[in-house]
Structure 1
Amino acid sequence: MADVQTPAIGIDLGTTNSCVAVVRNGRVEVIANDMGLRITPSCVAFTDEERLIGVAAKAQAVHNATNTIFDAKRLMGRKYDDGIVQKCIELWPFNVVESSSGDPRFRVEYKNETKDLSPEEISAMILGKMKTVAETYIGSPVKDAVVTVPAYFNDSQRQATMDAGKIAGLNIVSLLNEPTAAAIACGFNQKKNTKQNVMVFNFGDSTSDITILRIAGNDFEVIANSDEIYLGGRDIDERLVEHFIEEIKVKYNKDIKDNSKALSKLRTACERAKRSLSSSKKEPILVDSLFDGNDFKSSLNRDCLMKLCSDLYKKIMEPVDAVLKSAKMTVDDIDEIVLTGGSTRFPMQELLKKKFNMSKLNQSVNPNETVAHGAAIHAASKSGGKTIENIKFVDVTPLTLGINVLGNLMSRIIPRNSKLPAIKKKKFVTTVDYQTGVDIKVYEGERLSSDENNLLGEFSLENIQPAKKGISIIEVTFVVDNNGILTVTTEDAATGSNEEIVIRCNKGRLPKQEVERMVTEAKEFQKDEEKREKLAGALQEVKALIVKVKDLISELMNNDLENLELDNFSSVCTDTE
């Protein structure tokens, strides 16, 4: 028997595409959107009349590039001056500006007004779309959701995702790492009780990451993560675009690199051909009216793709070696490989088959749907549904945790990939004669310099026993529990003086009043769209009525009932249409 309460849903909030799923009667159901597609582009567009989300937004992007926002996830939890933000701005056709607080904002024109929107707001719109898709399918309002995030997301990025959920009207019961979600999906399908070492290989459009888990029944233990956040399927697409730009130069003596419309058309054709090479050895590149009315015709085969992108594919495989090393494993220790992400097709499958045994590839779930599939299972487990057995999983710290020391260096206390819960202690000495206090800054990240890592919090330890530098000993203790809550304690060994700071993974990144404002605006957007839908529905009804009246008039006139008024009425109906 199905649970009476509205089920919690699982949402894969992707950089390029998003997906939503639900568990009902013990079965996972990936939900199709209003276009009948199970994958929705993570894309939002603004026009003089309306806001568009998903398929409709992507469809008009070529003609409305400056007001069509994509890749918003890449800016979540980042400052405007972040290197990744600046790199993205160089590539995007839309405008990104700096807010008064130093955060990035997407600047768009909507209904003849300029609006600056945060990455959280854009992500909230996509989450809201997924919520609506689920509610239409389930037939009742949805409140609770598990939302997935990349394993490498830091504290700020996770908090930003929580804020986006709140703006969208969702109660995010849990943030789930994408690789863990994928492993849950495949583990749930197979329900093996023997221990298995599973590698989750995620090659998305923007990033790639690899995770090794140990699975036994419903127990999932993350062993290690590795990633390449600057490399994904789009880098392959750009390499292909560069190749064909050069070909066009030779064939037509024309450089289209500054023609954004032509580049968008060519990029779409390259992406389509790349994906098709998963099932064919050669694909045509056909673009109608690419520039100056000229059609472009060429082709792409597997050998050419490998030759053009060999260095990129080699780089993509580097995290595989890194994660094996971190897990203290070899290729022979891996029992199964789970593929996720839209780019895990040719030639990635061929490369993995060469490195691992071919039979190890698990393709039981569509790579585009695996993460949402697992998120839905976890959502059902978290919400107390009786149709899903309780899932237990042990995660690891996604990033190294430490404190700032002399010389602006980060002293590492809890290394990346440490099993949760984790506790580590480290002793430090004073660096100034007769020092009576010390400021502690807590960071997460892998860089040597503290300033290049993410600041989590700071506090002070007072009443240190005065002594020559190097004499007083301060013990720093880091404790991270299963929920990702970090507690940092410092103590002067001589006096027993101590201080503590608790850094919670669910504290808001945006000020409360900002979130409330965004929630209000999100509701206004929703009201506008509901009005447009009602108006569109009314117009359709009027048009249908006109068609019926015209048919009736036609039938009467065919019966030789000549009537001037019928002719006039028919003319009025035609004019109204």
Structure 2
Amino acid sequence: MEISVGKVFGIDLGTTYSCIAAMDKWGRPVVYNNRDNQATTPSVVRFTEDNEVVVGLQAKRSALVHPDEVASVVKRKMGDPDWRFRAWGTDYAAPSISSQVLKSLARDVAEQDQSGATVTEVVITVPAYTGHEFREATKFAGELAGLKVIDIINEPTAAAFAYGFLQEGNTAQTVLVYDLGGGTFDVTVIRLAEKKIQVVATDGDPKLGGVDWDEAIAAFLADRFAEIHPDARRPSDSAVGSQHLMNLAEEVKQSLSQRSSYLAVVQHDGVQAEITMTRDELEELTAGLLHRTIDLTRRVLEKAATKGVTAVDQILLVGGMSKSPAVKQRIQAEFGIDTRLTDPDLAVAKGAAIFGQKRELESYVLESLRSRGALTEDEQLEDADPATLAEVLRVTADERAMGREEVGDLVATQISNVTSRGFGVQVLDRKSGEHRVEFLAHAQDELPISVEQQFYTSADNQTAVLIKVFEQNSGDESQGLDANTAIISGEITGVPHGWPKDTPVDVRLDMGTDQVITVTARHRAVNEPLVLTIKVGAASAAMREVERAKVDELKQRE
């Protein structure tokens, strides 16, 4: 494989499998195979006693023998500051482990690409329905892998980008992206029009995915094994046995997407059992899981309807679990909408690669315009003279041996998004005397956001004002502190004595299309406002330094 245009790679960093893509010299998104000649790499990492790091299929297989050395399903822990995986006396946070997967993908490109390409700049995808700390943890994983993460893009948006890019013509349509991956579920309503991708509404569950189907199958196999061999120890009672069941469960699940029954052989405690599982049994066993996705799909359609979008032209099935016949059958039965299985394992990475090329072209064209004096440093592409912009686009296309229309369309394509969660500040409820969250931005608000609200001091002679910003935790907005996550805080200080209770404090929340949040708070007695830019909190910063040191140590031992 050879790329000659884009230098920004797209990465789908998945719960169970990951992959990397780039644009080839014909302007198509192409996924790189790994050293096992597979398009996807298991998101599994082994830390050996000799400080060797093994990633992918070998690590997954070794879990059958060394389960305590192998970390998997780590994506579900991204953004959790307290979670650690311990191997040989060392604790690893989720970004450290994920960075090893990213490094492995980058090495695969270096080995496979005939043009000598190296992975330095990337776009990494994340589930749409994840919080700020998850996104920051993902960026940090890229940093630990030695990569420059130029952007984070939501997985459904990436999939829709790939779908729209590969479609013939520019027919406007509304699609629902049903993304059921290995560990997360996203469902998003998106409007596709000429040179525009507009996210209307999004919902999901970051703890629902194919691994939950695997666990249900593993429990089924363990129960049947116990029935056949009542005197033997249950395979689920040991780490090795549990890992064997999970690997076998994935095999059963994948096979039953193609056939009506499958014979599994469970070996444990010196005996073995042949266990047949039918597709009907699997569907009955996991009906509750599938029903949860249907409920969330129905909910996102209701959210879209409140914004004036009452019809969906097509449902795009994305993610490995979407290959299950039960998924398509249930969706069609529930909603009666044309359903398409769209490159379910690779669409997200391909969309990220297309978006990466768009970002790289935008940056190049913007710099070219500024170097010509056609734009100032503060001006953006939309401020450019149309004729000058057209000339720069033409030159850019010719320099890169790309189609002029292709370059123009990519640069001109606009992507608008919504917030998946609400954000607010802590306030004192004077009626109850309790602290609560007053939301300034709400889930499904269209980006960018700028909202200002006036609050008041709670006491006479208050010399400092605490500004504490919270992010919504659950699907439904709740003002209770426990239902939200504090993501940053700061104080307005230096307020002189003499200011009475109920002195106004103006708080403004700005959230850009990059989903970086800035909170500005101003007390009329203080000249300089308090400005909080939410990128990463102090606790996370401390964790970053520790994890960076661990990764550096692993590099030295390579």
With the length of structure 1 as denominator, give the TM-score of the two structures: 0.79
Report the counterpart of residue 486 of structure 2 in structure 1.
455
SS in 2 for 1:312: helix
Please state if 1:125 is matched with 2:87: no
CA distance in structure 2 between the partners assigned to 1:415 and 1:260 by the alignment: 43
The 2-side partners of 1:47 and 1:318 are apart by: 43
Q: Determine whether 1:62 maps to 2:64.
A: yes
Q: Which amino acid aligns with 1:177?
A: N
Counterpart AA for 1:521:
E
Residue of structure 2 in register with 1:178 after alignment = 155
CA distance in 1 between counterparts of 2:143 and 2:530 reads 29
Tell me the residue number matched to 1:521.
553
Which position in structure 2 is the counterpart of 1:97?
none
Deviates more, 1:382-391 or 1:50-59: 382-391
Structure 1 CA distance for aligned equivalents of residues 528 and 186 of structure 2: 39
Question: What SS is found at the alignment partner of 2:286?
Answer: helix
Partner of 1:7 in structure 2?
7
User: Is the Cα–Cα contact under 8 Å of residues 162 and 506 in structure 1 kept in the other structure?
Assistant: no
Alignment of 1:23-34 (within 5 A): 23-25=23-25, 26-34=27-35
Report the Cα distance in structure 2 between the residues aligned to 1:515 and 1:251, rounded to whole angstroms: 47
The answer to whether the 8 Å contact 2:422/2:441 transfers is: yes
Shift of 1:339: 1.6
Determine whether 1:442 maps to 2:469.
Answer: yes
Residues 174-219 of structure 1 show CA distances to partners (whole Å, capped at 9, x for unaligned) of 1111111111111111054232211111112222121111111331
Displacement of 1:499 in angstroms is: 2.0
Is the 2:175–2:192 Cα contact (8 Å) retained in structure 1?
yes
CA contact (8 A) 1:408 1:451 kept: no
Report if aligned partners of 2:453, 2:507 keep a CA contact under 8 Å in 1. Answer: yes
1:19 aligns with 2:34: no
Distance 1:48 1:487 in 2: 45
User: Which has the greater radius of gyration?
Assistant: 1
- The question of whether the paired residues in 1 share the 8 Å contact of 2:96 and 2:547 is answered with no
The answer to whether the 8 A contact 2:17-2:40 is kept is yes
1:161 corresponds, among 99, 120, 138, to: 138
Instruction: Find 2:505's aligned residue among 474, 495, 504.
Output: 474
Q: Write the mapping of 1:458-537 to structure 2, written as runs, cut at 5 A.
A: 458-461=489-492, 463=495, 469=501, 471-492=502-523, 499-505=529-535, 509-511=540-542, 513-514=545-546, 517-518=549-550, 520-525=552-557, 528=558
Separation of aligned partners in 1, 2:284 and 2:551 = 49
* Separation in structure 1 between the aligned mates of residue 334 and residue 268 of structure 2, nearest angstrom: 43
Structure 1 residue 516 displacement after superposition: 5.2
Alignment partner, residue 440 of structure 2: 413
| Rounded Cα–Cα distance in structure 1 between residues aligned with 2:212 and 2:455 | 44
Contact 1:187/1:217 (8 A) holds in 2 = no
| 3-state SS of 1:262 partner | helix
Amino acid in the other structure paired with 1:238: E
1:53 corresponds in structure 2 to 55
| Equivalent residue in structure 2 for 1:334, among 292, 312, 317 | 312
1:484–1:507 Cα change, 3 Å: farther
Distance 1:39 1:354 in 2: 31
CA distance in 1, matches of 2:290, 2:238: 28
SS state at 1:230 partner: coil
Q: Secondary structure at the match of 1:347?
A: helix
Paired position in structure 1 for 2:276:
299
Matching of residue 275 in structure 1 with residue 247 in structure 2: no
- Hey, what does 1:422 align to over in structure 2? 449
Distance 2:90 2:81 in 1: 19
Asked if structure 2 preserves the Cα contact closer than 8 Å seen for 1:158 and 1:505, the reply is no
Tell whether the 8 Å contact from 2:10 to 2:122 is kept in structure 1 after alignment.
yes
1:143 aligns with 2:173: no
1:215-230 equivalence runs, <5 A: 215-230=192-207
2:3 and 2:227 map into 1 onto residues whose CA distance is: 64
1:324/1:252 CA distance change after superposition, 3 Å: same
Cα distance, 1:221 vs structure 2: 1.1
Mean Cα displacement is larger for which, 176-185 or 197-206?
197-206
> Which deviates further from its counterpart, 28-37 or 310-319?
310-319
Name whichever of 400-409 and 278-287 sits farther off: 278-287
Secondary structure of the residue aligned to 2:333 is: helix
Q: Distance in 2 between matches of 1:395 and 1:402?
A: 19
Q: Which runs of 5+ in 2 are unaligned?
A: 362-395, 429-433
Q: Which amino acid aligns with 2:530?
A: E
- TM-superposed deviation, 1:255: 4.7
Q: 1:210 to 1:116 in 2, by over 3 A?
A: same
Q: Within 5 Å, which residues of 2 pair with 1:345-360?
A: 345-357=324-336, 360=338
> Structure 2: which amino acid aligns with 1:323?
V
Query: Helix, strand or coil: the match of 2:80?
Result: coil
Trace 1:365-384 onto structure 2 (pairs within 5 A): 365-384=342-361
Partner of 2:130, secondary structure, is: coil
Post-superposition shift, 1:468? 6.2
**Per the alignment, do residues 276 and 316 of structure 1 end up closer, same or farther by CA in structure 2, a change over 3 Å counting?**
same
Deviations 1:341-385 (A, max 9, x none): 111123111111112335x2222x421111101011111111128
RMSD of aligned Cα (Å): 2.6
Q: Does 1:200 align with 2:172?
A: no
* Matching residue of 1:564: none
Within 1, Cα distance between the matches of 2:205 and 2:536?
26
1: CA distance, partners of 2:348 / 2:55: 21
- Structure 1: 5+ residue stretches without partners: 81-103, 529-577
